[in-house]
Amino acid sequence: MTIRQLAMILLAIIIVVELAYYMHYLKAPAEPKLTMEVLNNEAKMQQIFERELNDWQYGEERRTRFLYILGATIIGGFILASLMPNRKL
């Protein structure tokens, strides 16, 4: 295995971890299931409202910022990996 191959493998692992983070934590919240029990519970309704308001205010900004970071990681990683010497470890 060469240093360049090792750098490409590490870059691929970083990209997969970033994508998993995006898919798990930054996705838009699912539509809440409103049952009569939830509608009659003031605390649960307040929690649903705050979650929706938070995503409405900051969700798109967070997702866009993450996509910029992911793009910079991919481009910068490929540039650095291509500059690595192609020597055996």
Model pLDDT for residues 21-30, shown as the tens digit of each residue: 888 877 766 7
Rounded to an integer, the average pLDDT of 16-36 is 81
In a domain, 41, yes or no: yes
In a domain, 58, yes or no: yes
Residue-number span of the structural domain to which 22 is assigned: 3-83
Question: What is the percent of the chain with per-residue pLDDT over 90, rounded to a whole number?
Answer: 12
> Structure pTM?
0.64
Helix (H) or strand (E) holding 60: helix 60-83
Q: How many helices (H) and strands (E) does the chain have?
A: 4, 0
In a domain, 77, yes or no: yes
Cα 20 to the center of its chain, rounded Å: 6
Rounded to an integer, the average pLDDT of 8-37 is 84
